[in-house]
Structure 1
Amino acid sequence: MIGIYSNPDHVVAFSDGEVRQEFSICFRAHPVSGEPRDSDESTEVRWVDQAELDALDIHSSIRLRIEHGLADRAEPYYT
């Protein structure tokens, strides 16, 4: 496990009245088969070489998860 990420200052309020604080649990994994595919929650999904990351527009909270995953940390990160 890479870590558990959340931000109590980032609360999402939906138009139907639902309010939530999102979190994500990130794991390190290796693909064994299949191809990446998009969903209703994505516009593009693809494998990216580590050398390409700096050129991409990645939100700082997501970049932190990627950096922790690549760092091979001994202990999981918790916010």
Structure 2
Amino acid sequence: MLQEYTEQIEMIGLYGFYLLLFLFIGLAIQDVLKKGNVPKFGRNVVWAVLFFGCIGFISKAIIEIVWVNSGIG
């Protein structure tokens, strides 16, 4: 039964790994920003860049899933 769903299990595991990676990156950035006494504007810029990076990754994954399911990719 697992052999039928191997590709989907791998994809879920990969996306879970990426989610944990983004979480750890966010925690590391938060720690560096707190210890470095970064001004509020600088913190907002850093978080905006991280946020847009995550949004880009999520949109890429959604586009990939849609294309694969429609037979394009």
TM-score by length of 1: 0.26
**Relative contact order (C-alpha < 8 Å, sep 6+): which is higher?**
1
Give the TM-score normalised by the residue count of structure 2: 0.28
Bigger Rg, structure 1 or 2: 2
Higher helix share: 2
Which structure: greater strand fraction? 1
